[in-house]
Structure 1
Amino acid sequence: MEEERFDIKKEVFDFVKLLVFWFVVFLVVTRFIVNPIQVIGNSMYPTLKDKERGFSSIISRNFDIHRFDIVVVEAKDNSNDHWVKRVIGMPNETIECRDDVIYINGEPLEQDFLDEEYVASEVATYGRFTEDFGPFILGEDEYFLMGDNRQHSTDSRVVGAFHKDEITSVGIFIYYPFDEFGIK
C-alpha cells in the first residue's frame, strides 16, 4: 500500500482556491442579493435600535416599493454613508404635516407601525411627535422618507425627496442582537 505524500504546494493552492471562491461568493451576494447593514443612531428607534446588525434586500428594490417599507438609501450629506428610513410618501403625492397629523393628498395618514407608548412619551417631552412641514409635492420617481423617531431624524423633511435609484435596498432582517432577531 502506497502512502500519499503531503504536498504543501498543492495544499496551499487548494486553500487559495477556496478563499477566492468564497470571496467571489461574498462579493456576488453583497453586490446583487443582500446588503449587510448596521444601524447607527436612533432615527428609527424604537423599531430599529443603535448597533443592530442585519441584512437588507438589494433584489427587492427592483420591484415595487410600498408605503411604510423600511429602506436603505444613500445619505444626502456627501458622507458615503447610508441611512435607514421608512417610506411615507410615494411618487406623485403631496405630503405635509399639520398639528401632528401627516396628510397624503389631503387625507390623514394612519401610522399603525409607530409604538404608541413611545409616541406618547415624545409628545409629553416635545409637545408633539412630528413637527409641521410641507407641503412637499413629489415627482414621478420620488419618495418621501422619514425616521420613526421623528424628533431625532434627519430625513426628507430636511434633505428633500429621494429618487428610486438612491434606494439601495428594501426591508430589514435583524440577526444581532439575537433578542431582536427577525424581519422589521
Structure 2
Amino acid sequence: MNETNEAKKNTYEPRRDKHDPKNKQPQSSRGNEWLSTLLYIGAAVLVFFLIRHFVFAPVSVDGDSMVPTLHHQDRLILNKMSSIDRFDIVVFDAPDDPGKQYIKRVIGLPGDTVEVRDDVLYINGKAYSEDYLDPSQYHLEEWENFTEDFSLSLLTGIQEVPKDDYFVMGDNRLNSKDSRSFGFVSADELVGTTNFRIWPLGDFGKIDQ
C-alpha cells in the first residue's frame, strides 16, 4: 500500500509546474496552427467559388414566361456542365437585351426542323406531346390556339436550326419572348441547364416530375 502511494507521489505534477512558462507551447507551433486554419478556410472558400462559377449556381426566375412549369421568383440550381438535350430548361444570355438572362425550354436542336400546326408540335416531321403545357388555365376560345402556327422557314427564312444554335420557347406560349421573336440562341450564349428547384419549399425537387 505504501509503495502504491509512493508511486502516485512520484507521478504527480505540481501545479506550479503546469503553469511554468517553460512548459508552455512554443509560439511558433501556435503560429503554424493559425496558418493551417487560415489555409484550410481559404481553400474551402476557393473551392466554393470555383464550383459556383464553373459548375453549379443559384438562379431566380423573373417573370411568367415559363408558367405553369416555373413561376416568378422560383429559385433553381443551374448546372453549367451538362450537355443540352431537347426539352431541357436552359438559362442563356438574352440575344436582344445585353446584360439580361432568359430561361426557356429547348425545342429545336441543331439540324432540327420545327413547326407548330393546330397546337401540335412537329420536330423533323414527328408530332410531340407537350405535357409540360397547360392551355386549359387560359380559357381559350374554340377558334384560338395556345401556340400560334409557325414554321422555321416562315419565322427565320431557313428550314433547319443552324449548327451550334438552338430554338427555344417558353411554356407560357401566350406570354413569352423567345425564339419566335428574337431568333436562334447560340451555344456560346447558353449558361447552363436547370432541373432542380429549391424554392418555394413546397415545390422543392426536380422540375417536370
Q: Tell me which structure has the larger Cα radius of gyration.
A: 2
TM-score, normalised by the number of residues in structure 2? 0.73
User: Aligned-residue CA RMSD in angstroms?
Assistant: 2.7
Identity of aligned residues (%): 38
The 3-state SS of whatever aligns with 1:174 is strand
The answer as to whether partners of 2:76 and 2:194 remain within 8 angstroms in 1 is no
The 3-state SS of whatever aligns with 2:174 is helix
Residue 160 (1) aligns with residue 183 (2) = yes
Higher strand share: 1
Distance across 2 between alignment mates of 1:120 and 1:127? 12
Higher relative contact order (CA 8 A, sep 6+): 1
Residue 141 (1) aligns with residue 164 (2) = yes
The 3-state SS of whatever aligns with 2:193 is strand
Deviation at 1:132? 1.8
Deviation at 1:59? 1.2
Unaligned runs of at least 5 residues, structure 2: 1-17, 26-30, 154-159
Give every structure 1 segment of 4 or more consecutive aligned residues whose post-TM-superposition deviation is greater than 6 Å.
10-16
Letter in 2 for 1:44: M
Residue 122 (1) aligns with residue 122 (2) = no
Distance across 2 between alignment mates of 1:161 and 1:51? 26
Q: 1:123 to 1:145 in 2, by over 3 A?
A: farther
Residue 131 (1) aligns with residue 148 (2) = yes
Which of 85, 88, 102 is equivalent to 2:104?
Answer: 85
Q: Give the number of equivalent residue pairs.
A: 176
The answer as to whether partners of 1:173 and 1:183 remain within 8 angstroms in 2 is yes
Unaligned runs of at least 5 residues, structure 1: 5-9
TM-score, normalised by the number of residues in structure 1? 0.81
